[in-house]
Amino acid sequence: MELEDWTVREGASEHQPEIQNEIDSDEATSRQQHPHDALPPTDGGYQAWLLLAGCFIINVLVWGFAFSFGVLQEYYMNNEPFASNSNGIPTIGTTATGLMYLLMPIYFYALQRWPVLKKYSTWASLPVVAGALIGASFAQTVPQLIACQGVLYAIGGNMLVTPTITYLDEWFVRRKGLAIGIMWAGDGAGGVIMAIVLQALLSRYGFRVALRCIACAFVILMAPLLLFVKPRLPIPMASAVRPIDTSFLRSPVFWVLQAFNIIQGTGYFLPTNYLPTYAESIGLSSKFGSLTLVMVNLAAVLGCIVTGALVDRVDVTAVMLGISVGAAAAILAVWGVSTSIAPLCAFSLLYGLTAGSYSTTWAGMIKDVQRHVANVDANVIFGFLAAGRGIGAVASGPLSDALIASSGQSMHGYGGEYGSLVIFAGCTTLAGGCGWFVRRAGFI
């Protein structure tokens, strides 16, 4: 189907996305059973924006901490008790982010099958996340950090994030891309805040006190917020037990988009995890290494919002191609030859603006799949796309260790210890945009 054809149909008021039909059906049922309760409007109104603000702040805390792991990685690799046996430290961060993505389909299935769990999941997440961070603060070995800061943190974080995503799907329909972009912008904003806070705490108190302070902050900030993060539809009606439709798994459109999503995820986390240690390898301070992460995440805030607005209006594969080319250019042409502050800053900003917004294209991918497979729940597709990114994230941890080990030992550049990692990250990032060529060839 030509871009012009489906763009016109998307904009026409008489052709709403299939997800709107499901919500309309739920609303009709809700009105019959609650005739005096008027449902608030979608895509606007203070309640919709309040919910979106809540999703943003949750991402600031949960994903922001995960995406600022590079600061902790630099600390762990240079301080005892982990510096003397640092093998596996990169796996801590990729385990946390990877598992959060991988577990999403399971969480979405459970919430759709037993919707009442939404009421309890967010509150139950607080002791799990706090316990994970406090447990990590007592760790003496890298496997203990992986178990607490990696595995347990991912389990608790998903208990908080996934219910709010289902709420977002109820509150935003026509402007879903923009809403998801703003929600994912919380990752970048959190990365900025968490990198600064972690660097200050680590330099003054060490990792044990730092992790305990973050655990306390999670509970104190999140508990009052959860009072205002609510669904639009009555929970018993929001997912009135209907079979979970996975027919989209037979669609070539889904698998083409998923394949490039997985490939991009395999290389995406490598630059952010290694930027602080790379900065140190070229003679810069640890504080400047943390600043590079701040710049990546700060640029990602703008990138996510812009990308979210674009996928509501433009072919998603074109958006994927544009940000992938930009990110690959940043890696291969800038990071790979960075030996001083200026080019490393330029790389951080460009990478955050482009690669940092890739997951925002999921809104467009979901619309693409729903055009080919009717009546598929957007949350189920979202969960599978997240799992695909999780596969890439988990794989990138051991891969990064192998890539570093296979490189040379000079100070910097393509001939140095980061050479193979730079090339791999650049190639996988570029491949993430190749769905546009598959579409132009007429295969999807």
Domain spans of the chain?
42-233+247-440
Q: Would you state the pLDDT for residue 429?
A: 94
Q: What is the pLDDT along the chain (444 residues), one digit of tens a residue?
A: 333 333 333 343 334 444 445 444 444 444 444 443 578 888 878 888 888 998 999 999 999 898 888 889 889 988 889 888 777 888 898 889 888 988 888 998 888 888 888 888 989 999 999 999 999 999 999 999 999 999 999 999 999 999 998 888 888 888 888 888 888 888 888 888 988 899 899 999 999 999 999 999 999 999 888 887 888 887 665 445 556 778 899 999 999 999 999 999 999 988 887 888 888 888 887 778 778 888 998 899 899 999 988 998 899 999 999 999 999 999 999 998 888 889 999 999 999 999 999 999 998 999 999 988 887 888 889 999 999 998 988 888 788 878 887 765 555 566 677 888 899 999 999 999 999 999 998 887
| Residue among 281, 290, 347, 219 nearest 69 (CA) | 290
Q: What is the model's pTM? A: 0.78
Domain covering 42-233+247-440 in this structure, CATH number: 1.20.1250.20
Rounded distance, CA 270 to CA 334, Å?
A: 15
| Residue among 312, 310, 374, 308 nearest 10 (CA) | 312
Cα dist from 106 to 109, 111, 163, 205, whole Å: 5, 9, 12, 38
Rounded distance, CA 382 to CA 167, Å?
A: 13
Q: Would you state the pLDDT for residue 141?
A: 92
Q: Would you state the pLDDT for residue 414?
A: 65
Q: Would you state the pLDDT for residue 127?
A: 94
Q: Would you state the pLDDT for residue 413?
A: 60
Rounded distance, CA 275 to CA 352, Å?
A: 12
Furthest-apart CA pair in the chain: how many Å?
Answer: 72
Virtual torsion, Cα 278, 280, 284, 287, nearest 10 deg: 100
